[in-house]
């Protein structure tokens, strides 16, 4: 509406612009619509931004009042946009709460819970059985020296027994241990004789894999050092272990001669086949017995390498294939499943 007062024209125009934006914001139906309105009003090319640019064209007396009025208009429109956005959000929330199918008391979806790997489960049980018989548990590095893994075990560099366990060598002459026997001399230095210790761990061999052979698998070594030890004591310790792990009080074991340069005499300990009960089947290759672990009395040269005088100390040792024990315990048909990392397999234990 035109009047004769100075500045009346632009004041009227600003009032009209304000009224238009008030109505437009009030009609904004959702957040996206509000965003468009904001750009159209206050963006670089927006209507209110364009008004600011007109300041210079006004008579000098009006400029200050016009600038202040446009600034106020800008603030008012910004306030309406924010208020409308809050109202819309509150309305959406209220609609969700009013929806009778929305149940605030419903329990949240259950997350996936992991569990201990079967190898770790059985390892912990084996450790517990031996702890109850007074054994220490020793941990030591997977990268070890030629001395620990071979030399100290009566296997010098020229010895043909090196062929039995090929491994992965590092450039610095160290190797990935091929068996937990690599801890024997380390244990003799770690504990004061007499002592008993088990040392579980991962071992590595450079060999072809099949259902019962992996390049990476787990063993547990046991070592007992005393003034006098006997094969009877070794056998009884093995029986105690297997009864506990296989949950079978009637486990039957037997010894056969076996060759390892670090024991004398050396044995292979067999367990009566749990599938056929000894009658013969495909699992035990019709023998009625399954080979489970090698063991024997510690060779004098190994005692010497560990700083013990063989005239005063004796020992027995065993090297249990932990991976095979897990297979027997849970009926796993292929050792390669254990470290394949397939959750569908692991979730069963
Ligand atoms: C040894 O490793 C000797 N250090 C054991 C020993 C210790 C003998 C103390 C005497 C005194 P051997 O290579 O047979 O022996 O392995 C021991 C056990 O590890 C085997 O009976 C078997 O259960 C397991 N084993 C061997 N090779 C593999 C493989 N590639 N994959 C899975 N398990 C294996």
- Name residue 204's beta-bridge partners: 216
- What is the reported pTM? 0.70
Q: Is 297 helix (H, G, I), strand (E, B) or coil?
A: strand
CATH number of 118-346: 3.30.930.10
| 237 pLDDT more than 60 | yes
Closest CA to 123 of 322, 328, 324, 299: 322
**Average pLDDT value for the chain:** 91
Q: Residue 107: which pLDDT band, with cuts at 50, 70 and 90?
A: confident
Rounded to the nearest 10 degrees, the angle between the axes of helix 31-42 and helix 8-27 is 160
Tens of pLDDT, residues 123-139: 999 999 999 999 999 99
Reported as a pLDDT band with limits 50, 70 and 90, residue 1 is very low
Which of 337, 330, 140 has its CA nearest to residue 221?
Answer: 140
Going by CA atoms, what residue is nearest to atom 23 of ligand 1? 321
Long-range contacts of 306-314 (CB under 8 A, 24+ apart): 306/152, 306/184, 306/185, 306/187, 306/188, 306/189, 307/188, 307/189, 308/188, 308/193, 308/225, 312/227, 313/193, 313/194, 313/225, 313/226, 313/227, 314/225, 314/226, 314/227, 314/228, 314/229
Per-residue pLDDT tens digits for 169-209: 999 999 999 999 999 999 999 999 999 999 999 999 998 88
Domain ranges (residues) in the chain? 10-98, 118-346
How many helices (H) and strands (E) would you count in the chain?
Answer: 11, 9
More confident residue, 211 or 4: 211
C-beta of 335 in contact with ligand 1 (< 6 A): yes
pLDDT at 230 over 80: yes
Q: Which residues contact 113 (CB under 8 A, 6 or more apart)?
A: none
CB of 213 closer than 6 angstroms to any ligand 1 atom: yes
pLDDT tens, 278-290? 888 877 788 889 8
Q: Is residue 218 in contact with ligand 1, taking CB distance under 6 Å?
A: no
Tell me which of 260, 265, 334 to substitute to probe ligand 1's pocket, judged by most ligand atoms within 8 Å of the beta carbon.
260
**3-class DSSP state of 53:** helix
pLDDT for 255 equals 94
Mean pLDDT of 292-304: 96
Residue 3 has pLDDT above 50, yes or no: no
């Amino acid at each position: 509406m035109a009047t004769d007062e100075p500045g009346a024209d632009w004041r009227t125009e600003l009032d009209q612009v304000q009224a238009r934006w008030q109505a437009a914001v009030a009609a904004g139906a959702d957040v996206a619509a509000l965003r468009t309105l904001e750009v159209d009003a206050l963006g670089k090319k927006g209507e209110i931004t364009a008004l600011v640019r007109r300041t210079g064209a006004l008579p000098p007396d009006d400029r200050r009042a016009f600038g202040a009025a446009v600034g106020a208009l800008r603030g008012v429109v910004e306030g309406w946009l924010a208020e409308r956005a809050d109202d819309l959000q509150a309305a959406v929330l209220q609609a969700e709460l009013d929806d009778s199918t929305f149940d605030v008391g419903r329990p949240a979806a259950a997350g996936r819970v992991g569990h201990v790997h079967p190898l770790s489960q059985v390892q912990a049980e084996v450790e517990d059985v031996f702890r109850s018989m007074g054994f220490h548990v020793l941990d030591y590095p997977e990268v070890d020296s030629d001395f620990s893994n071979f030399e100290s075990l009566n296997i010098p560099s020229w010895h043909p027994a090196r062929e039995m366990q090929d491994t992965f060598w590092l450039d610095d002459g160290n190797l990935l241990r091929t068996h937990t026997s690599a801890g024997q001399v380390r244990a003799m230095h770690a504990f004061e004789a007499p002592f008993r210790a088990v040392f579980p761990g991962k071992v590595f061999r450079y060999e072809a894999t099949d259902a019962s052979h992996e390049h990476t698998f787990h063993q547990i070594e046991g070592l007992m050092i005393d003034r006098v030890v006997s094969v009877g004591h070794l056998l009884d310790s093995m029986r105690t272990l297997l009864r506990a792990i296989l949950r079978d009080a009637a486990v039957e074991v037997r010894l056969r001669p076996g060759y390892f340069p670090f024991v004398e005499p050396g044995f292979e300990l067999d367990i009566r086949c749990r599938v056929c009960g000894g009658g013969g089947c495909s699992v035990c290759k019709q023998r009625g017995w399954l080979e489970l672990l090698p063991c024997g009395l510690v060779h004098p040269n190994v005692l010497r390498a560990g700083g013990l005088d063989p005239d005063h100390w004796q020992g027995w040792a065993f090297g249990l294939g932990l991976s095979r024990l897990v297979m027997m315990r849970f009926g796993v048909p292929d050792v390669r499943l254990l470290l394949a990392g397939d959750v569908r397999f692991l979730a069963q234990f």
